[in-house]
Structure 1
């Protein structure tokens, strides 16, 4: 999410970002790569931060336009162990 030239108000590290956005690191990284999440930047060679204003704007946008949950898998299409149509009767041993 590129932003126009505006002054940086505050930056946050990963620990604070995780408190605000409860997503896995790999999910955040993938969303950044696709341009769907604010990009991190290096503050020093070993310190990565995000712009707090961009993260808050992203959260506000998500609240306005919620994402529909994904559908569950159709268990009847399984190849390895298909689910039976009814419960089989138990045979005594």
Structure 2
């Protein structure tokens, strides 16, 4: 007959819960760990203030189609601006998936709104060598 010890979620129904150690010759990690546990929060004084657990910070990322909705620039323009260091860099999550940090993109948009952007100079079409425009 196969005699295996199965872990049960209720400690009081465990056959070894009333004795201090498992029977001789029986080694079971689950039973030993239950026997060596202390009552929860028995050693914590009640007059100390409880600190709230801090939420785990995470980075919100956006995919390419979400970036296109936020920034109305073409993929080639975004790529060139990334290469020059003028746009937040993308990073790869997998070999076929790239994402941008949402906070960095929003900060870039806010900076573009506050900073004046100088327009490119207009080219005088009369100075063209080929197909000049007659005045």
**Unmatched 5+ stretches in structure 2:** 1-56
**Unmatched 5+ stretches in structure 1:** 1-6, 86-93
TM-score by length of 1: 0.78
Report how many residues are paired: 79
- RMSD over aligned Cα, in angstroms? 1.2
Higher relative contact order (CA 8 A, sep 6+): 1
Distance 1:66 1:11 in 2: 27
Kindly report structure 1 stretches of 4+ aligned residues shifted beyond 6 Å. none
Q: In structure 2, which of residues 78, 82, 99 is the aligned counterpart of residue 28 of structure 1?
A: 78
Structure with bigger gyration radius: 2
TM-score by length of 2: 0.55
